[in-house]
Amino acid sequence: MMGPATVRREMVRIGSLLYERRYVVAAEGNLSVRLGGDRFLVTPSGACKGWMEIGELLEIDGEARTLATDRRASSEWRLHREIYRARPEVGAVCHAHPPYATACAAAGRHLDARVLTETATMLGTVPLARPAVPGTDDVVDSVRDLVPGAPALLLANHGVVAWGKDLREAYFRLETVERLAEVTILAGLAGGVQPLPTDLLRRLGDL
Ligand SMILES: [Zn+2]
């Protein structure tokens, strides 16, 4: 289990990775780590994830009341809370707008991870949540039915949200969704995706 200072450092580090890898620009995206129950550590509203400092991260409760600061939490805090409530095993959530996956989300298509041996068992299918107004309960409603059965989601005309047992796993999952989207789009240009044979999928599932 990481101590609070290590968790904050990891969040700042992953924020700068999101920015350097162009998964977010300007003040896009948000990250959180569950602290216990409905309390979580979250990135502040309006901050560029590339230049965050440890002291800017906010500890909030389930109603977005900030503890020990007057800055506002990311407007997507309700989305994070919904994922923590639906998935008790989840310890961190990562939301960004990586270009290839966001292109799929803008094109209104979900991602089928069963086209690559590496992602077939890791991700399965990445569903597409319907378009919704960011930062509102509409986003929560749009993902509610999908969160329990998925490893990550595309948010239509918006971006990606991924989760995991800790921040590193949530980030790696987001990164893997983006790579899958990139390869899916390139495979389309290269003549079209050929699905993995069913018996191979079964053998991968057995591994
Ligand atoms: Zn967003």
CA of 206 to the centre of ligand 1 (A): 36
Distance 117 CA to ligand 1 centre (A): 29
- Residue 203 C-alpha to ligand 1 middle, in angstroms? 37
Judge whether 123 and 177 are in contact, CB under 8 Å.
Answer: yes
CA dist., res. 124 & res. 113, Å (int): 5
Question: What is the residue type of 31?
Answer: L
Q: How far is the CA of 29 from the centre of ligand 1 (A)?
A: 5
Query: Cα of 188 to ligand 1 centre, how many Å?
Result: 26
Calculate how far, in angstroms, residue 24's C-alpha sits from the geometric centre of ligand 1: 9
Indicate whether 207 pLDDT > 80: no
Average pLDDT over residues 161-184: 97
Largest Cα–Cα distance in the chain?
56
CA distance 63 to 193: 44
**Predicted pLDDT of residue 121:** 83
pLDDT digits (tens, 9 = 90+) for 98-149: 999 999 999 999 999 888 998 988 888 899 999 999 999 999 999 999 999 9
The SS3 assignment for 98 reads coil
What gap in Å lies between CA 201 and CA 23, rounded to an integer?
30
**Cα(106)–Cα(122) distance, integer angstroms:** 24
Query: Would you state the structure tokens that stand for residue 180, as one six-digit string?
Result: 């899958």
Instruction: Give the per-residue SS3 of 109-176.
Output: CCEEHHHCHHHHHHHCEECEECCCCCCCHHHHHHHCCCHHHCCEEEECCCEEEEEECCHHHHHHHHHH
What digits encode the pLDDT tens for the residues 19-37?
Answer: 999 999 999 999 999 998 8
Output Rg (C-alpha) for the chain, integer angstroms. 17
Q: Please, are residues 140 and 79 in contact by the beta-carbon 8 Å criterion? A: yes
> Structural domains in the chain?
4-206 (3.40.225.10)
- Coil/strand/helix, residue 105: helix
Position 68 confidence tier, pLDDT thresholds 50, 70, 90 = low
pLDDT exceeds 80 at position 46: yes
